[in-house]
Amino acid sequence: MSSQSASGSGKVAKPSSSKLSTAKTEIEFRVALIVLAIVALIPAIVSNPYWLGVLIVSMYFAILAGAWNLLAGYTGQFSLAPATFAMIGAYSTGLLGTYFGVPPLLGILAAILVAGLIGLVLGRIVLRLKGPYLALTTLSFAEILRLIASNSINITRGDLGLGVPGLFSSRIGWYYLFLGVLAVLLIALYALLRSKAGLFLQAIRDDEVAAARSGVDVVFWKTAAFALSAAASGFAGALYAHFAELVTPELGLIGQTGLIVSMTVIGGIGTLVGPIVGAFLVYVLSEWLRDVGGYQLVVFALLVIIFARFFRDGLWGIARFIMRRGRSA
Amino acid sequence: MNMALAVDLAVNGLITGLFYALMAIGLSLIFGILRIVNFAHGEFYMVGAYAYTLIALAVGLPVWISLPVAFLVGAAFGWTTERLLMRPLYAGYTSWGLMRDEYAVIVTFGLSLFLINLVDKVIGPYAYRGPTLVDVSRITIGPILISGHRLTAAIIAIVVIAITAALMKWSFWGKQIRAVAQNRLGASLAGIDTARASSIVFMLSGGLAAFAGALLSPVINASPDVGAFPAIKSYIIVVLGGMGSVPGSIIASLALGVIESFGAVYLSYDYRDAFGLGLLMLFLLFRPQGLFGEKGREV
């Protein structure tokens, strides 16, 4: 792009060399596992069902933030529709259950497939779009689907929402189900990043033209990133639907996408551990801040701006900086 | 089709289009000069609606003073946004160098969330109805039925749009801005202060959007999320008219106003927003340069 060369004062943006090293991924993976281990131990101390519920929703957001991170952080495709795929997943199982009597487990499987397929199609459509064009297209896609969900009152009952059967009633059960899914998806993402696919995706993020010239099948991998991210989001959305026993168009609100983006940016975009830590921090803090005046969204929006402006690597970047300082001192 | 109704719909659609144009010109200029979409554009509108309404009602100044003050408040917001958040896009910061577009999306998206929720907490979620400019409730001109405020606001909008277009075309600063939009490096080599050009664009853009918010506040009451609707309209317009083109966005605004005014009567009302967004997606996919824009060149 001509504006690229004209933008700075002649300084070439230095790609951080650590981005591709697997050593970086190794550390992040281990820290993420430790975080999940701590989360697994929390029910031993906290038995209050309200706070367990807050943590369950945090894990829902951790899955969504991780899925969006695969697309935005590792592949460089800034979609503004992550919450929409959760909504698609939730409605897939909800509608199948309501109209065809499909049992929840099959419904969740179908939700993964449906969300993944729609993600595949969307990824294919927006293949050539970049930056602001991609953001606007995915944003309109998100708004159109939400409008359809809330206006097709005959089918979806609109904003009233669709009742969905629960899987089981035990809070602890849900807690460990969400934790298990989060852990499996984390390991899958780690495996993906360690394989050649991870390198391909990051090569596309860093320089699409150069990646294509080096033999990366850009079309395939970009579409695959969209489909995988959408499938994981749909999975989370379907699980959440059965947990909340309700599906509403609110799942696809722009504000939800805002929350997912905030979590990823505050935690550290393009890192394994960032979105998980970000999701827990933002959601738990926001529940806590709700009691002290309801300033949570003001605080997080401000944090997003500050992190994007000054701490590009998020909390994880700050933590690494402090660790390095401590080691060299 | 009833002729009188058609004339009425067309005129009212054109007037709606004028307000859209106030929004869309600023968005288009920002895209032209920085190649970004400002996702906080609706919040400039919201700030203007509140500034006008609160200055007129709470402070008690006459509406003819509140209106220019709303413009100035919007311009101040625009300037601050550019100064604090947009500099990394071009001033040689490297940390986001590789993800410049993503930085712009995150930071403007975050600003939008921040302003909506801040206003929601500080001023409250209730809607405030702005005072009308003139106290004439209904004027009948032939087949057209229009409120006195709407007519006055439309005339003011025409004047402001004309002044803006003239400034962009003939003034020294307007020429500088267009030069930077065409080629930032070339413009800076020719001695143009590109940072100042960006500042001016953001001030103008914030001011115009705030002005639109002020003019429409008696019709669409000021509330924290009032900006979402005009912002989405201006995204559609800017894409239809070609990103970065001022005449294109004026024509597209008027066209969208008329289309919507007929569409609301003759097509589905519930899905009217979905149609516009569908159009937006189709244009982005098949004709990203819009109806009037120049095709983007990649080097």
A63-114 pLDDT, tens digit each: 999 999 999 888 888 888 899 999 999 999 888 888 888 888 888 899 999 9
- Reading chain B (299 residues) residue by residue, the pLDDT tens digits are 677 788 888 888 899 899 999 999 989 888 888 888 888 999 999 999 999 999 888 887 888 888 899 999 999 999 999 988 888 777 655 444 556 777 888 888 889 989 988 888 888 888 888 888 777 777 777 777 788 888 888 899 999 999 999 998 899 988 888 888 888 888 888 888 888 888 999 999 999 999 999 998 888 888 888 888 888 888 888 888 877 778 888 998 998 888 888 877 777 666 666 777 777 777 777 776 666 655 544 43
What b-and-e string marks burial along B195-212, b requiring 16 or more CB atoms within 10 Å of the CB? bebbbbbbbbbbbbbbbb
User: Quick one: closest CA in B to A306, which residue?
Assistant: B107
Cα A146 to Cα A60, A81, A251, B31, B98: the distances in Å are 20, 10, 9, 27, 32
Residue B277, judged by CB atoms within 10 A of its CB (0-12, 13-18, 19+), counts as buried
User: Quick one: closest CA in B to A128, which residue?
Assistant: B285
A280 has pLDDT over 50: yes
Residue B295 lies in a domain: no
Residue B137, judged by CB atoms within 10 A of its CB (0-12, 13-18, 19+), counts as exposed
How far is the C-alpha of A63 from the C-alpha of A232, rounded, in Å? 7
Which residue is associated with the tokens 């695969």?
A: A70
Q: Higher model confidence: residue A291 or residue B189?
A: B189
Is A294 an 8 Å CB contact of chain B? yes
Which residue is associated with the tokens 């990824």?
A: A123
Q: What is the pLDDT of residue A65?
A: 93
Q: What is the pLDDT of residue A16?
A: 47
Q: What is the pLDDT of residue B290?
A: 66
How far is the C-alpha of A227 from the C-alpha of A275, rounded, in Å? 19
Of the pLDDT bands very low, low, confident and very high (cuts 50, 70, 90), residue A128 is confident
Q: Specify the pTM.
A: 0.82
Q: What is the pLDDT of residue A329?
A: 63
CA distance B145 to chain A (A): 31
Residue B159 lies in a domain: yes
Query: Quick check: A71 and A79 in contact, CB under 8 A?
Result: yes
Within B72-166, strands assigned E span 139-141, 144-146
Residue B149 lies in a domain: yes
Residue B21 lies in a domain: yes
What one-character-per-residue DSSP string does B218-269 give?
A: TTS-B-TTTTHHHHHHHHHHHHHH-TT-HHHHHHHHHHHHHHHHHHHHHS-S
Is B283 an 8 Å CB contact of chain A? no
Segments forming the whole domain that contains residue A129: 20-253
**Structural domain total, chain A:** 1
Is B298 an 8 Å CB contact of chain A? yes
Closest CA to A186 of A13, A69, A308: A69
Residue A204 lies in a domain: yes
Share above pLDDT 90 across residues of chain A, in percent, rounded to a whole number: 20
Residue B254 lies in a domain: yes
Is B281 an 8 Å CB contact of chain A? yes
How far is the C-alpha of B212 from the C-alpha of B70, rounded, in Å? 9
Q: What is the pLDDT of residue A10?
A: 40
The angle formed by the CA atoms of residues B191, A309 and A270, to the nearest 5 degrees, is: 120
Residue B240 in tokens? 């239809």
Residue B278 lies in a domain: yes
Residue B91 lies in a domain: yes
Closest CA to B217 of B119, B129, B126: B129
Within chain B, strands assigned E span 139-141, 144-146
Element (H, E) at A150: helix A131-151
Residue B226 lies in a domain: yes
Residue A318 in tokens? 């700050």
Q: What is the pLDDT of residue A68?
A: 93
Residue A301 lies in a domain: no
Closest CA to A55 of A282, A294, A295, A300: A282
> Beta-carbon neighbour count of residue B289 at 10 Å?
16
Q: What is the pLDDT of residue A60?
A: 94
Q: What is the pLDDT of residue B99?
A: 63
Share above pLDDT 70 across residues of chain A, in percent, rounded to a whole number: 92
pLDDT digits (tens, 9 = 90+) for B109-123: 889 989 988 888 888
User: Quick one: closest CA in A to B181, which residue?
Assistant: A3
Q: What is the pLDDT of residue A11?
A: 41
Residue A172 lies in a domain: yes
Average pLDDT, rounded, for chain A: 83
> Beta-carbon neighbour count of residue B219 at 10 Å?
15
Query: Quick check: B256 and B233 in contact, CB under 8 A?
Result: yes
A2 has pLDDT over 60: no
Segments forming the whole domain that contains residue B36: 3-286
**Structural domain total, chain B:** 1
Residue A277 lies in a domain: no
A324 has pLDDT over 60: yes
Name chain B contacts of A301, Cβ cutoff 8 Å: 110-111, 113-114, 117
CB contact under 8 A, B100 and A4: yes
CATH number of residue B178's parent domain? 1.10.3470
Is B166 an 8 Å CB contact of chain A? no
